[in-house]
Amino acid sequence: MALVWSKQVDGICYEVRSAGSSLRLYTDGVFHSQYNPKQILTGHVWDLLMIPAFFYPENSIKRVLVLGVGGGSVLHQLRYFKSPEKIIGVELNPIHLLVAQRFFNLKHKSIELIEANAISWLQDYAGEKFDMIIDDVFTEKDGEPVSVVDANRKWFSCMLKQLNRDGVIVRNFLSKDALMASAGIANKAINSKFSSTFKLTSCLNENFVGVYCRRLVSTRELRKNLIKIPKLNPQLKSCKLRYRINRLT
């Protein structure tokens, strides 16, 4: 991969590298985002974070909150495939936001980027609720990604407070054990708030994505909605979307 841009800030190395026709953001060696305007699907975990929006009918996902923007891969995907009225992205790292706008072209009237601690911001938020909340807040340690906030009862309660009554929470996990131990699955009081929960994985990466829907949905409904869009239709050989989905409760 060719180096396009690099910057050292407070001992942290930020790099934008080209991978074919795609650009990738690395922070201290950790792969944070990918962008290719000609190929919106990335083949990585951001595809999985986007998929749950298709449990819902067209035009029903109007407000989306993304906690942890990175370079903005999933924001690009949601705008391209679902066109919400509003996508708010909250990101603590100003260099990530700089890269997202300068190199990944994350600029659109429907997208609002906020530089803030995502946890504190959500705890203090008092605005209109969201149809979809994506929790992808990670940092780096010794060249590996590390989750910033535990998926415990307190955190799920915080997210639920800002979620519409039919909304969905999507959370990125580094292991199956962490997903199954999350309050959305393991805590009866929190799990009872959701009508459908799923695990999303892909043969192309090692992440586990938890999907927590407040309305009753089905994988049949998901596939039906994906098939309507050629770039997401698994029945077409040209489709680059790869995923496996399992119902959890």
pLDDT of 94-106, one tens digit each?
Answer: 999 999 999 999 9
Question: What fold, for 39-247?
Answer: Rossmann fold (3.40.50)
**pLDDT 10s digits, 25-54:** 999 999 999 999 999 999 999 999 999 999
Please report which confidence band the pLDDT of residue 186 belongs to, taking 50, 70 and 90 as the band edges. very high
User: Has residue 201 got a pLDDT over 90?
Assistant: yes
User: Has residue 241 got a pLDDT over 90?
Assistant: yes
**pLDDT 10s digits, 118-164:** 999 999 999 999 999 999 999 888 888 889 999 999 999 999 999 99
3-state SS record for the chain: CEEEEEEEECCEEEEEEEECCEEEEEECCEEEEEECCCCCCCCCHHHHHHHHHHHCCCCCCCEEEEECCCCCHHHHHHHHHCCCCEEEEEECCHHHHHHHHHCCCCCCCCEEEEECCHHHHHHHCCCCCEEEEEECCEEEECCEEEECCCCCHHHHHHHHHCEEEEEEEEEEECCHHHHHCCHHHHCHHHHCCCCEEEEEEECCEEEEEEEEECCCCCHHHHHHHHHCCHHHCCCCCCCCCCCEEEECC
Alpha carbon separation from 3 to 21, 23, 28, 217 (Å, rounded): 13, 10, 14, 44
Residue 141 CA to residue 173 CA, distance in Å, equals: 16
Per-residue confidence (pLDDT) for residue 1, from 0 to 100:
80
What percentage of residues in the chain have a pLDDT greater than 70? 100
Contact 178, 18 (CB under 8 A): no
**pLDDT 10s digits, 45-90:** 999 999 999 999 989 999 999 999 999 999 999 999 999 999 999 9
- Average pLDDT of the chain to the nearest whole number: 95
Per-residue confidence (pLDDT) for residue 144, from 0 to 100:
84
Please report which confidence band the pLDDT of residue 204 belongs to, taking 50, 70 and 90 as the band edges. confident
Residue 66 CA to residue 74 CA, distance in Å, equals: 8
Dihedral over Cα of 63, 69, 73, 74: its sign:
negative
Residue 47 CA to residue 72 CA, distance in Å, equals: 12
Nearest C-alpha neighbor of 51 from the set 248, 213, 243, 221: 243
